[in-house]
């Protein structure tokens, strides 16, 4: 769940003082992620700041692949969702 009450609360001055702890408090701040940006089209999705920060400039598919690799490295098993198995 995104925390919509965080909109317009972030300040650079407080961020510089609080560093990582301050920024962590804004993990669920709604942000806009560029899913696709080309000369002919653009697509956006609203997501949490920490998700957008972690995704960085990866494609959605690249981000999912990275997440899968992290989970597998940590010892988890990753199974595709039902709708992906039937394809």
Give residue-wise pLDDT tens across range 56-74: 989 889 999 999 999 999 9
Q: Identify which of 4, 53, 12 has the alpha carbon closest to the alpha carbon of residue 29.
A: 4
Q: What is the model's pLDDT at position 38?
A: 72
Q: What is the model's pLDDT at position 86?
A: 65
CA distance 57 to 81: 24
Q: Structure pTM?
A: 0.72
Integer Rg of the chain from CA: 16
| Residues in contact with 43: Cβ distance below 8 Å, sequence separation at least 6, in sequence order | 34, 35, 36, 37
Q: What is the model's pLDDT at position 87?
A: 56
CA distance 31 to 52: 7
Q: Which ranges of the chain have pLDDT less than 50?
A: none
| Residues in contact with 69: Cβ distance below 8 Å, sequence separation at least 6, in sequence order | none
């Amino acid at each position: 769940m995104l925390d919509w009450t965080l909109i317009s609360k972030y300040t650079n001055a407080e961020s510089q003082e609080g560093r990582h702890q301050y920024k962590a408090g804004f993990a669920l701040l709604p942000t806009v992620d560029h899913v696709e940006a080309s000369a002919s089209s653009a697509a956006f999705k609203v997501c949490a700041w920490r998700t957008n920060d972690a995704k960085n400039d990866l494609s959605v598919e690249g981000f999912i692949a990275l997440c899968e690799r992290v989970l597998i490295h940590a010892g988890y098993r990753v199974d595709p969702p039902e709708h992906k198995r039937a394809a």
